[in-house]
């Protein structure tokens, strides 16, 4: 019982620090936020922060991990709800668009590079967790692709892993670009960002149906 109470207290303090850091990162920027800032805003001593986190980078990595876990859960809902391939595809596109709208600061890291060398993973528990949940997200995407093959939407000859990776990279670039160039899209194409993204999502889907 005492052990459970201690662990609950640890998790409470970690969450309090992470919530405070995430708020400060959004307000001041990641580079501009210091451990002193986080300690003061969270009402902890700086030494207490270091009991729970080794550095500001580790705090940031924990925030990224929490967002990746929520993204994975959203993707798993497609399977639980028995959605078909196209429904899953557009659900993922919508979720990533929403993710950017809510957390533009973290979006590049959530969809970006994860260290895969053994030394990095051995030296950092949180990087190992990030890597593992990243692989689980990849597994979700590849399973959705296999579902598309079973439904006859995708060619059985499609090279699943490279195609899934290419789609992920395309969405990771497309969504920020649409948000950053919204005024240009309206002026040049007479489309708002939502209309442009829906057009682009459909175009990517058509390229997948062509059997990449």
The domain ranges of the chain are 1-53, 55-209
Phi, psi angles (nearest 5°) of residue 211: 85, 65
Concatenating the DSSP letter of every residue in 39-65 gives HHHHT--HHHHHHH-S-HHHHHHHHHH
Query: Is 2's pLDDT higher than 80?
Result: no
Phi, psi angles (nearest 5°) of residue 106: -100, -15
Alpha carbon 40 to chain centroid, angstroms: 28
Q: For 112-150, how does the pLDDT look when each residue is reduced to its tens digit (9 = 90+)?
A: 776 666 666 667 889 889 989 999 999 999 999 999 999
Would you state the pLDDT for residue 99? 93
Name, in order, each residue with C-beta under 8 angstroms of 210's C-beta and a sequence gap of 6 or more: 155
Q: How confident is the model at residue 69 (pLDDT cuts 50, 70, 90)?
A: very high
**Nearest by Cα to 196 from 207, 185, 208, 183:** 185
CATH topology of domain 55-209: Tetracycline Repressor; domain 2 (1.10.357)
Domain 1-53 superfamily per CATH: Homeodomain-like (1.10.10.60)
Q: How far is CA 25 from CA 29, 33, 64, 96, 198, in A?
A: 5, 6, 12, 20, 30
**Nearest by Cα to 76 from 159, 158, 143, 23:** 143
Long-range contacts at 131-134 (CB < 8 A, ≥ 24 apart):
133/65, 133/68, 133/69, 133/72, 134/68
User: What is the chain's mean pLDDT, rounded?
Assistant: 90
Query: Is 94's pLDDT higher than 60?
Result: yes
Q: For 16-49, how does the pLDDT look when each residue is reduced to its tens digit (9 = 90+)?
A: 999 999 999 999 999 999 999 999 999 999 999 9
154 phi-psi bin (left φ>0, alpha ψ -120 to 50, beta other): beta
Query: Is 63's pLDDT higher than 70?
Result: yes
The structure's pTM equals 0.87
């Amino acid at each position: 019982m005492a052990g459970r109470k201690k662990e609950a207290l640890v998790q409470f303090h970690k969450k309090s620090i992470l919530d405070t850091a995430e708020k400060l990162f959004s307000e001041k920027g990641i580079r501009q936020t210091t451990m002193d800032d986080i300690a003061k805003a969270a009402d902890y001593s700086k030494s207490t922060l270091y009991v729970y986190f080794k550095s500001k980078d580790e705090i940031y990595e924990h925030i990224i991990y929490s967002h990746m876990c929520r993204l994975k859960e959203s993707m798993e809902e497609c399977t639980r709800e028995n959605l078909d391939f196209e429904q899953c595809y557009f659900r993922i596109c919508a979720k990533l668009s929403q993710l950017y709208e809510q957390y533009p600061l973290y979006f590049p890291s959530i969809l970006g590079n994860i260290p895969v060398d053994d030394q990095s993973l051995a030296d950092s528990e949180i990087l190992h967790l990030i890597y593992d949940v990243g692989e689980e997200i990849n597994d979700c995407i590849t399973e959705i692709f296999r579902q598309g093959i079973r439904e006859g939407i995708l060619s059985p000859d499609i090279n699943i892993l490279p195609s899934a990776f290419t789609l992920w990279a395309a969405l990771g670039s497309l969504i920020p670009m649409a948000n950053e160039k919204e005024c240009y899209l309206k002026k040049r194409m007479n489309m708002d960002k939502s209309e442009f993204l829906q057009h682009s999502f459909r175009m990517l889907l058509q390229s997948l149906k062509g059997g990449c």
